[in-house]
């Protein structure tokens, strides 16, 4: 996770982590709000104040181990205007998509500034923001509860199958994820996928600059 052990690198990583989880969770809440659910707004979660979304243990794990979690934004699909299943899919995908937008934006700024080699903190912050947001987006798309990917996958399943999938797998979701992470199985998914996204971003920016 760190690009060295300097105070500059550590602070840059911390700021990148806070930015990533804050935008991720706010995006979930905002998407739900636009679909008619005021729950997140009523609980003060439609904010870019990281303290509203911070789970201390989850943030520490992301900071140290490269994976973690924030306080889940409360969503009540019964408020949704229209199809609740499609609504949950939109709310779920809003977080990862926002992370990818953040990553591309940071990459754009980094490329436009020529790498900011003379400004170590900005260089470290942008680099961490690029990489961390891509990994966070892809990790959350893994279809294992409680990750966003599980709700997206459930939206493609028949209602009965989706209910059984979510309620059955959710009991063991955290354990499954822990096993995948400990045995580096997630890296087999994350690393190639992240490299693919980075290459795509590089191609787009190369055409611009």
Spatial CA neighbour of 204 closest among 96, 98, 93, 101: 101
Q: Give the pTM.
A: 0.90
Q: What is the three-state SS of 88-109?
A: HHHHHHHHHHHHHHHHHHHHHH
Question: H-helix or E-strand containing 193?
Answer: helix 185-208
Q: Are 135 and 191 in contact (CB under 8 A)?
A: no
> pLDDT confidence of 65, banded at 50, 70, 90?
low
Between 43 and 171, the higher pLDDT residue:
43
How far from each other are the two terminal CA atoms of the chain, in whole angstroms?
28
Known catalytic residues? 25
pLDDT at 117 over 60: yes
Mean pLDDT of 85-94: 97
pLDDT at 116 over 60: yes
Between 120 and 97, the higher pLDDT residue:
97
CA atoms of 108 and 122, how far apart (whole Å): 13
- Report the pLDDT value the prediction gives residue 63, as an integer from 0 to 100: 62
DSSP assignment of 1-20: --SSSSHHHHHHHHHHHHHH
- Mean confidence (pLDDT) of the chain: 89
pLDDT tens for residues 2-12? 444 588 888 89
pLDDT tens for residues 98-108? 999 999 999 99
pLDDT at 67 over 70: no
Between 14 and 117, the higher pLDDT residue:
14
């Amino acid at each position: 996770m760190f690009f060295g052990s300097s105070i500059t690198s550590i602070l840059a990583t911390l700021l990148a982590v806070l930015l990533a989880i804050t935008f991720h969770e706010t995006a979930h809440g905002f998407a739900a709000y636009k679909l008619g659910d005021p729950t997140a707004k009523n609980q003060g979660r439609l904010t870019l104040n990281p303290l509203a979304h911070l789970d201390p243990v989850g943030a520490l794990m992301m900071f140290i181990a490269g994976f973690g979690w924030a306080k889940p934004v409360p969503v009540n699909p019964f408020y949704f205007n229209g199809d609740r299943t499609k609504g949950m899919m939109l709310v779920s995908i809003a977080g990862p998509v926002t992370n990818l937008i953040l990553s591309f934006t940071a990459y754009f700024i980094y490329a436009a500034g020529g790498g900011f080699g003379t400004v170590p903190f900005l260089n470290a912050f942008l680099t961490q923001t690029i990489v961390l947001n891509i990994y966070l987006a892809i990790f959350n798309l893994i279809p294992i509860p409680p990750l966003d990917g599980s709700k997206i996958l459930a939206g493609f399943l028949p209602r009965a199958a989706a209910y059984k999938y979510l309620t059955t797998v959710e009991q063991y979701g955290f354990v499954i994820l822990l096993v995948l992470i400990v045995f580096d199985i997630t890296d087999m998914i994350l690393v190639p996928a992240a490299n693919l996204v980075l290459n795509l971003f590089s191609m787009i920016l190369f055409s611009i600059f």
